[in-house]
Structure 1
């Protein structure tokens, strides 16, 4: 990574990062204007290219930074610690909310980047994601206590359904431009309340 950028004051770095997340999350990679990122960050386009050699380097840095920030938040919220399913999900939601307060467009950027088709960056993103998913905290079948759930429940299918519902919700919000911290918290708590009724044994 370019040491020139890392040597900047934190506030200035965050301003550039947030500008990049916003512009890239609202456009395809090819149609994202670098000049708009620089203008929003309060710097010149030439200065932005002083920190990053080109658009691709900036884009991939923003992706790597999103992964780093996410893993750090997950660790801080103890999302790797085994617990009951919904306690782990609650901690994961807390991590997501903290990230969105500091980087409002990071989640939208990550969703957009994951589905980006431009060959200049898509292969790099998918390769990075394959490695990142190995580190990311997630609920696995081995972490669950079957005694918490209704006996007829297929636990792996349950986890798959929760993952698909979560990803679908985020993608829909990104596409409509309505992904906000408050609505995310409210909607995810509603989903978790629903899943508790559907999957947990009575009284759990």
Structure 2
């Protein structure tokens, strides 16, 4: 990546990034044309390749930006400091829905990249996902009281299942032509209630 990209005014950097999110959110990695990204950004294709050596480098930088911005907002929401795992999940999902409202192209790009199968980038994305998941799991689980869960529950495995179910739900919701955020929030509250009924220790009467 050419460091001169960071010498551009922030507004122009953001215009290029948003153009990438928009184009790659609509098509697979292989099918998304870089000349369309350049046109969306209002620059020439040659200038885009001056800042980023190739399509792969640009795509992975977009992925990095998504991760950095999402984690920043998650940390600001205090979702990683909760002693209640389900409250952490609820706050985290609210952050993701807020990001989707504010920047749907970036949100859809993130989900599409998560499920991307192109061999040119799949390994890098999956390794990054695993690293991010491990980081999130460490912060999510470090304050929990294991005694609140049923005997025999593998808490890390439980969290992984809920995390993947949440990502899958977001993907399904974003594929609809008309995203209903109120319905998404209601559905997720119901999912949390279901998880509690499965995983939490029953109180003795």
Aligned to 1:53: 53
TM-score (structure 2 length as normaliser): 0.78
Asked if the contact 1:34/1:45 (under 8 Å) is kept, the reply is yes
Aligned to 2:4: 4
Asked if the contact 1:108/1:179 (under 8 Å) is kept, the reply is no
SS in 2 for 1:48: helix
CA distance in 2, matches of 1:135, 1:160: 12
How many residues align? The count is 201
SS in 2 for 1:118: coil
Give the drift of 1:61.
0.5
Aligned to 2:129: 129
Give the drift of 1:99.
2.7
- Rate the CA distance shift 1:52–1:130 in 2: closer, same or farther, 3 A: same
CA distance in 2, matches of 1:120, 1:13: 25
Q: Unaligned stretches of 5+ in structure 2?
A: none
SS in 2 for 1:17: helix
1:7-60 Cα shifts (integer Å, max 9, x gaps): 223333222222211221221111001122222223332332222122111101
Q: Unaligned stretches of 5+ in structure 1?
A: none
Aligned to 1:36: 36
| Paired residues for 1:143-182 under 5 Å | 143-145=143-145, 148=148, 154=153, 156=155, 158-176=158-176, 181-182=181-182
- Rate the CA distance shift 1:102–1:171 in 2: closer, same or farther, 3 A: closer
Aligned to 1:26: 26
- Rate the CA distance shift 1:145–1:106 in 2: closer, same or farther, 3 A: same
Asked if the contact 2:79/2:87 (under 8 Å) is kept, the reply is no
SS in 2 for 1:31: coil
- Rate the CA distance shift 1:162–1:82 in 2: closer, same or farther, 3 A: same
Report whether the alignment pairs 1:97 with 2:67: no
Asked if the contact 1:38/1:45 (under 8 Å) is kept, the reply is yes
TM-score (structure 1 length as normaliser): 0.78
Asked if the contact 1:19/1:38 (under 8 Å) is kept, the reply is yes
CA distance in 2, matches of 1:71, 1:58: 20
Give the drift of 1:199.
5.5
SS in 2 for 1:80: helix
Asked if the contact 1:153/1:199 (under 8 Å) is kept, the reply is no
Comparing 152-161 and 25-34, the one that deviates more: 152-161
